[in-house]
Amino acid sequence: MTVAPHIRTLVSMPFEENSYVVWRPGSTECVVIDPGLQPELIEECLREEGLTVRAILNTHGHADHIAGNESMKQLAPDAPLVIGAGDARMLTDPEANLSAMFGFAVLSPAADQTVKEGDTIEAAGLVFRVLDLPGHSPGHVVFVQEGTPIRVFGGDVLFRGSIGRYDFPGGNGPLLLEGIRRKLFTLPADTVVYPGHGPVTTIGHEKRTNPFLSGE
């Protein structure tokens, strides 16, 4: 039986974005997912837990999910920065990553690795399967970790009682809904979703109650 990982959620203001630090029990190595606008919170967690970053995963390229990439790369220069191929350009383009819209310029280091559906990321003794789930952004991906239960680090796709916005440039509502139904709602009901904003949820709960996906 697979041992469940430790998962710390660090909430970055002002967008209440969830950054995640994930590591195996007994390990001193971790993966950081979507480091946000307050990377100091992640750095404090790493010090408290005695962890070294082995990979930085971005579900998508919007500013609130990539703003901490530079700080993480400074801490761990050898940790690969990974993002979906369709969002890679957003890392280094403040217009594309929407930070310019809010009056400040977020610049991330360029990707060390781009991924697409079917790829697998292995780091810190953890394995993540990649699914393409565009709609909130053109190249949005989610990272699926097998186990009991399955865990999905889902970025801004599926929230507790809601879904990701699709009114930003490159958004596509029908594509987002199709991806949720076809790729997430086919996972077991007890699958835990760690979203980019708000509390965790499960696939079963969202299939039963999410008003944007009613009738599923």
Would you state the pLDDT for residue 102? 83
1 within domain boundaries: no
Sheet holding 113-115, edge to edge: 6-12, 17-23, 29-33, 52-58, 81-84, 113-115
Q: What is the CATH number of the domain that holds 47?
A: 3.60.15.10
145 within domain boundaries: yes
Region 138-149: what's the mean pLDDT? 95
pLDDT band at 20 (very low <50, low <70, confident <90, very high): very high
Helix count and strand count (H, E) for the chain: 5, 14
* Least confident interval from 97-111, 115-129, 140-154, 186-200: 97-111
- Cross-strand bridge partners of residue 59: none
- Give yes or no for residue 107 having a pLDDT over 60: yes
In angstroms, the CA 23 to CA 9 distance is 12
144 within domain boundaries: yes
- Give yes or no for residue 5 having a pLDDT over 50: yes
Measuring CA to CA, which residue among 64, 90, 78 is closest to residue 29?
Answer: 78
175 within domain boundaries: yes
**What residue has token string 């039986």?**
1
- Give yes or no for residue 91 having a pLDDT over 50: yes
Range of the domain at 41: 6-213
Number of domains in the chain: 1
Would you state the pLDDT for residue 216? 46
Tell if the pTM clears 0.85, that is, is over it: yes
Q: Which tokens in the block code for residue 101?
A: 């819209």
31 within domain boundaries: yes
Would you state the pLDDT for residue 122? 97
Q: Which helix (H) or strand (E) holds 48?
A: helix 39-49
